[in-house]
Amino acid sequence: LSAKLVSNNLKNIRFFHSTSASLANTTKLLINGKFVESKSKEWLDVTNPATQEVVTKVPVATLEEMNAAVAAAQAAFPAWRDTSVSNRARIISNYRALIQKNMDKVAAIITQEQGKTLPDAKGDVFRGLEVVEHACNVASLMMGETVENVSKNVDIYSYNQPLGVCAGITPFNFPAMIPLWMFPLAIACGNTYVLKPSERVPGASMYLAELAIEAGVPAGVLNIIHGAKDAVNFICDDPAIRAISFVGGEAAGKHIHDRGTKNGKRVQSNMAAKNHATIMPDASKDRTLDALTGAAFGASGQRCMALSAAVFVGESQNWIPELVERAKKLKVTCGAQPDSDLGPVISPAAKERIHALIQTGIDEGAKCVLDGRNVQVPEQFKKGNFVGPTILTEVTPNMKCYTEEIFGPVLVCLKADTLDEAIKLINNNPYGNGTAIFTSSGAAARKYQHEIDVGQVGINLPIPVPLPFFSFTGSRRSFVGSNHFYGKTGVQFYTQIKTITSNWRDDDISTGVSTHMPILG
Instruction: Report how far apart, in Å, the C-alpha atoms of 174 and of each of 59, 305, 345, 481 are.
Output: 20, 11, 13, 21
**Cα(166)–Cα(74) distance, integer angstroms:** 10
As to burial, measured by CB atoms within 10 angstroms (0-12 exposed, 13-18 middle, 19+ buried), residue 81 is middle
Q: Does 247 bind ligand NAD (CB under 6 A)?
A: yes
How far is 415 from 400, CA to CA, in rounded Å? 17
In this complex, which beta carbon is closest to ligand NAD, that of residue 97 or of residue 251?
251
Does residue 334 have an active-site annotation?
A: no
Identify which of residues 93 and 433 has a Cβ nearer to ligand NAD in the complex.
433
Least spacing, CB of residue 46 vs ligand NAD, in Å:
13
Shortest CA distance to 409 belongs to which of 514, 327, 493, 476? 327
C-alpha distances out from residue 75 to 80, 90, 234, 460, Å: 9, 22, 19, 49
- CA pair distance 120, 187, nearest whole angstrom: 27
Which residue number, 248 or 468, has a Cβ lying nearer to ligand NAD? 248
Residue 252 touches ligand NAD, criterion: CB under 6 A: yes
The residue from 216, 249, 294, 348 that contacts ligand NAD (CB under 6 A) is: 249
Does 173 sit near ligand NAD (CB under 6 A)? Answer: yes
**35-56 burial code (b ≥16 CB/10 A, e <16):** bebbebeebbebbbbbbbeebb
Q: Please say whether the beta carbons of 305 and 456 come within 8 A.
A: yes
Length of the chain counted residue by residue: 521
Which of the stretches 160-168, 185-193, 268-276, 291-299 binds ligand NAD when contact is defined by CB under 6 A?
268-276
- How many CB atoms are located within 10 Å of the residue 330 CB? 18
User: Judged by CB under 6 A, does residue 273 bind ligand NAD?
Assistant: yes
Minimum CB distance to ligand NAD, residue 74 (Å) = 22
Residues in the interface with ligand NAD (CB under 6 A) total 29
**Measured distance CA(106)–CA(76) in Å, rounded:** 27
Q: Residue 204 or 368: which CB sits closer to ligand NAD?
A: 204
Question: How far apart are alpha carbons 190 and 15 in whole angstroms?
Answer: 29
Active-site option among 304, 368, 401, 413: 304
Q: What residues between 194 and 233 interact with ligand NAD by CB under 6 A?
A: 196, 198-199, 228-229, 232
Task: Based on the shown chain and the rule CB under 6 A, indicate whether residue 353 belongs to the binding site for ligand NAD.
Answer: no
Window contacting ligand NAD (CB under 6 A); options: 166-174, 369-377, 442-450, 506-514: 166-174
**Footprint of ligand NAD on residues 449-478 (CB under 6 A)?**
472, 474, 478
| Exposed/middle/buried for residue 506 (C-beta within 10 Å: 0-12, 13-18, 19+) | exposed
Taking the complex as a whole, the smallest distance from the CB of residue 405 to ligand NAD amounts, in Å, to: 5
Of the candidate spans 12-20, 155-163, 247-255, 279-287, the one that interacts with ligand NAD by CB under 6 A turns out to be 247-255
Residue 406 or 444 having the CB closest to ligand NAD: 406
* Cα–Cα distance, 20 to 30 (Å, whole number): 18
Minimum separation from the CB atom of position 233 to ligand NAD (A): 7
Paired residues of 479 in beta bridges: 270
Check binding of 255 to ligand NAD (CB under 6 A): yes
- Segment 398 to 437, residues that bind ligand NAD, using CB under 6 A: 405, 407, 433
Candidates 118-126, 267-275, 315-323, 382-390: pick the segment binding ligand NAD (CB under 6 A): 267-275
For the CB of residue 77, give the shortest distance to ligand NAD in the complex, in Å.
Answer: 24
Nearer to ligand NAD, 229 or 328 (CB): 229
Query: By C-beta, is 49 or 162 nearer to ligand NAD?
Result: 49
Binding of ligand NAD at residue 170 (CB under 6 A)?
Answer: yes
Of the candidates 388, 17, 345, which has an alpha carbon nearest to the alpha carbon of residue 203?
17
Q: From residue 45, how far is each of 53, 58, 220, 382, 432 by CA, in Å? A: 9, 6, 27, 20, 34
| Residue 126 CB, nearest approach to ligand NAD (Å) | 16
CB of 234 to ligand NAD, least distance (A): 10
Kindly list the distances between the CA atom of residue 198 and the CA atoms of 90, 284, 411, in Å, as whole numbers in the listed order.
29, 39, 26
CB of 90 to ligand NAD, least distance (A): 30
Strand segments, DSSP code E, in 378-465 are 390-393, 410-416, 431-432, 434-438, 456-459
Nearest residue relative to ligand NAD (C-beta)? 248
SS3 341: coil
Residues in contact with ligand NAD by CB under 6 A are: 169-174, 196, 198-199, 228-229, 232, 247-249, 251-252, 255, 270-273, 304, 405, 407, 433, 472, 474, 478
Task: Give me the active site residues, please.
Answer: 304
